[in-house]
Amino acid sequence: MADNSVTLVGNLTKDPELRFTTGGRGVASFGLAVSRRYQVNNEWQEQTSFFNVVAWGTLGENAAASLTKGTRIIVTGRLEQRQYETKEGEKRSVVEVNADEIGPSLRWARAEIERIARDSGGGASGGSSSSSSGSSSGSRAPDPVYGDEEPF
């Protein structure tokens, strides 16, 4: 099976923009500038590539609450292409990084980690938006990666 994964280290070009789907799921999007410096004939050259990053669910909510423009981060995820139509009816295509993990780069900075309890029902949206039958307040869909087990 073919797999598609990418790891990028770069600086945010703007603060993450957090939105919510009609179902209440958070999605954050932001730009990432990745610079590469190399030498040609004893002269330094610099090349910068720009990527759009999308983070879903609590990952996106936590990114929006923690990151600001200029922050150096590490992103791992998948490249995904999507198509859309502009208001003028033109068809467009864009390739984005759909983030699986995001973290601060500690090369030139320090970070404080604040662990958020998974069973708090919270996150940045603060809500119990997905309880359909209400007797158990802790009922939620299992995490697709960890199931019901805590990651650490």
The answer as to whether 152 is a domain residue is no
**Residues contacting residue 88 through CB under 8 Å, at least 6 positions apart:** none
| Residue 11 resides in a domain | yes
CATH of the domain at 87: 2.40.50.140
Q: Is residue 142 part of a domain?
A: no
In a domain, 124, yes or no: no
Residue with structure tokens 């938006």?
129
46, 35 in Cβ contact below 8 A?
A: yes
CA distance 65 to 47: 30
Range(s) of the domain holding residue 59: 6-119
Structural domain includes residue 90: yes
Closest CA to 27 of 52, 51, 55: 55
Length of the chain (residues): 152
| Cβ 67 vs Cβ 16: under 8 Å | yes
Domains in the chain: how many in total? 1
In tens digits, what is the pLDDT along the chain, a chain of 152 residues? 568 999 999 999 999 999 999 999 999 999 999 999 999 999 999 999 999 999 999 999 999 999 999 999 999 999 999 999 999 999 999 999 999 999 999 998 898 888 888 765 544 444 433 333 444 444 455 555 555 555 54
The pTM score is: 0.71
**Is 10 part of any domain?**
yes
Residue 30 has which token pair? 């932001």
